[in-house]
Amino acid sequence: MSTPKKRTVRDYHTDVSPYELEGTLVEIRTRIQDWIDKYGPTARFDWDAHFYHDYDTTPSPRFNIVHDREETDEEYQERLHKEKKDLSIREAQERAEFERLQKKFGGK
């Protein structure tokens, strides 16, 4: 069995109200530069036109600042451990089901 590769993780850093994009172009450029400084040059600005607050009956469009990155060594090890545990649980359930069916049908 080959070693699983690290996965890409998407971090949602903050949501941005469309109102934060109002103002002079210089103010908007400064705001965007602050986000670049804070989240890095590869962070993305994604539009969510269908976002609803829990208390709202109509959508409240917003932007999200997201960043894709490779999972850390700790996240990788944690994921591998969870996958191994889940596989073990699933195999135990399947083994129990197999034994139950074997008793019921007696290898017919």
- Could you read off the pLDDT of 30-66 as tens digits, one per residue? 999 999 999 999 999 988 888 777 787 887 778 899 9
Q: Judge whether 32 lies within some domain.
A: yes
Angle at 34 between CA 28 and CA 37, to 5 degrees: 145
Domain that holds residue 66: 8-70
Average pLDDT over residues 65-83: 94
13 and 62 part of one domain = yes
Q: What pLDDT score does 18 carry?
A: 81
Same domain, residue pair 61 and 21: yes
pTM for this model (two decimals):
0.59
Q: Is residue 2 part of a domain?
A: no
Number of structural domains (the chain) is 2
**Count of Cβ atoms closer than 10 Å to residue 16 Cβ:** 19
Q: Are 64 and 15 contained in the same domain?
A: yes
Q: Are residues 22 and 64 in the same domain?
A: yes
Position 27 scores a pLDDT of 95
